[in-house]
Structure 1
Amino acid sequence: MSRLIPEWNLITESNPKSPISEGYRILRTNIEFSTIDQSLQVIMVTSSKPNEGKSTTSANMAVAFAQANKRVLLIDADLRKPSQHHIFGQSNRSGLTSALFKQKDLHEVIQHTNTENLSVIHAGPTPPNPSELLSSKQMATLLATTRDMFDVIIIDTPPILSVTDAQIVATQSDGVVLVIDSGRVKKDEALKAKASLGHVNAKLIGVVLNNINRKNSDAYSYYYEDVNEA
């Protein structure tokens, strides 16, 4: 059994009846119904800058989809500062980089979690060339293979304003969720993040606002509105 490290909050697993867990289920439902004509199977999660909650959001989204009886794969593609192995209390000795460098077979780097239907590929050892690795043919092949294995694939990527990695992964994804800390990120930074996604024709399906300062807030909210209005 994997052990959760206390400082990381996987609330959808530890307290599924909480209001915040319900918020993640609402997020899941909104994503499922955000497009009519196109399937959203591969969903990328990013933020404008570090420490906005993108990794926690990715993990809780993955659990929420798995709780809806979807076969879910969570991929930690933040190869520079990975977090998912901390959240799930698992080993990061091998992972995405191991598979992309062909040091391990795909099935060897997919780890099961305490949540039924949820599997994870952790980042693995830090490579010298994260951007090149994420844009490689091996990455495209891995995503094509896992599309046949899972109903939903959620990819945790680095902040989009920090490095090009998120833009690269966005071109391989069906939709993008942008996580913004409303207490730290200024409007112009949010607009820059949105513009960066637009430069690669990424489909922005929603924005998660963390730490909203309002009465009775669960410090979590999800919006469809344009970032100009958020």
Structure 2
Amino acid sequence: MSRQASSKRPLITLSNAKSPVSESYRSLRTSIDFSSVDERMQVIAVTSAGPGEGKSTTIGNLAITYAQSERRTLLIDADLRKPTEHHTFNLSNRWGLSSVLSQQSKLDDVIQKTDIPNLSVISSGPIPPNPAEMLASKRMSALIDELREQFDVILIDTPPLLAVTDAQVLATKCDGYVLVLDQGKVKRDIAMKAKANLEKVGARILGVVINNVKRKKSEGYYYYYYGENK
């Protein structure tokens, strides 16, 4: 069984690369690339206000579009509480980010290649008792600095903003954030609180993905990208 066929999460950029949804992911990629003229957007974190808003689906598909543009792409599952990317890409989660941060594994041993050319994944690894402390550590900063030398693009899947502080503690280690919101689930005040939480720690918000905007049934979900300060 192929990885795509057995994935629990739809990777439409693989299964239907010509669909409007896939084109929206490519537009998101382009918007991120051009979000800064003077700085290179290399390390990008993706988060949401609450759970179930589609951030992990978004980052998985976004990672594929970067890989398809022939850039060395790494997806890091930094949701050390409820990891999902190993399910998405059918990878082992016996070791991963937490293993490296706890010095139980070497970095090279946890970088897993996928069936998709140019795309590698670091899964979360075993769930640790202190996720926020791990992500805030100097070791995490050193890890990202080392990976900057190996990959063109690094995408980090973080936990929801309003549930825990994990996403916020990564603010100084990333070049920017993309916030994913479910149009039918999140209320405006909650969305604004999530945005404020990022701004409070000096995070650069590259834009917002509005998820679950329905088009025709055959096209499924559509994703829109809005620039900074929208």
- What is the CA deviation profile of residues 146-198 of structure 1, one whole-angstrom value per residue up to 9, with x for unaligned ones? 00000000000000111000001122100100000000000000000000000
Contact 1:58 1:154 in 2 (8 A): yes
SS at match of 1:171: helix
1:17 aligned partner: 18
Match of 2:225 among 211, 222, 229: 222
Q: Distance in 2 between matches of 1:119 and 1:27?
A: 20
Contact 1:2 1:113 in 2 (8 A): no
Question: What is the total number of aligned residue pairs between the two structures?
Answer: 227
2:155 aligned partner: 154
Q: Distance in 1 between matches of 2:7 and 2:45?
A: 25
State the percentage of identical aligned residues. 57
Q: Which deviates more from structure 2 when the two are superposed, residues 208-217 or residues 20-29?
A: 208-217
1:3 aligned partner: 3
Residue 219 of structure 1: how far off its partner (Å): 2.6
Name stretches of at least 5 consecutive residues in structure 1 with no aligned partner: none
TM score, norm. by length of structure 1? 0.94
Name stretches of at least 5 consecutive residues in structure 2 with no aligned partner: none
- What is the CA deviation profile of residues 33-88 of structure 1, one whole-angstrom value per residue up to 9, with x for unaligned ones? 11101111000000000000000111111110010011111000000000100100
Q: Distance in 2 between matches of 1:204 and 1:70?
A: 23
Contact 1:45 1:176 in 2 (8 A): yes
Q: Distance in 1 between matches of 2:2 and 2:132?
A: 30
Residue 2 of structure 1: how far off its partner (Å): 6.3
2:80 aligned partner: 79
TM score, norm. by length of structure 2? 0.94
Contact 2:50 2:160 in 1 (8 A): yes
What is the root-mean-square deviation of aligned Cα atoms in Å? 1.6
Residue 141 of structure 1: how far off its partner (Å): 0.9
Contact 1:2 1:88 in 2 (8 A): no
Return the letter of the residue paired with 1:190: A
- What is the CA deviation profile of residues 188-212 of structure 1, one whole-angstrom value per residue up to 9, with x for unaligned ones? 0000000000001100001000012
Contact 2:206 2:228 in 1 (8 A): no
Q: How does 1:172-187 map to 2 (within 5 A)?
A: 172-187=173-188
SS at match of 2:170: helix
Residue 114 of structure 1: how far off its partner (Å): 1.1
SS at match of 1:195: helix
Query: 1:192/1:77 Cα in 2 relative to 1: closer, same or farther (>3 Å)?
Result: same
Residue 20 of structure 1: how far off its partner (Å): 0.8
Q: How does 1:46-195 map to 2 (within 5 A)?
A: 46-195=47-196
Structure 1 residue 207 corresponds to structure 2 residue 229: no
Return the letter of the residue paired with 1:226: N
Q: Distance in 2 between matches of 1:225 and 1:145?
A: 28
Q: Distance in 2 between matches of 1:177 and 1:40?
A: 12
Query: 1:30/1:190 Cα in 2 relative to 1: closer, same or farther (>3 Å)?
Result: same
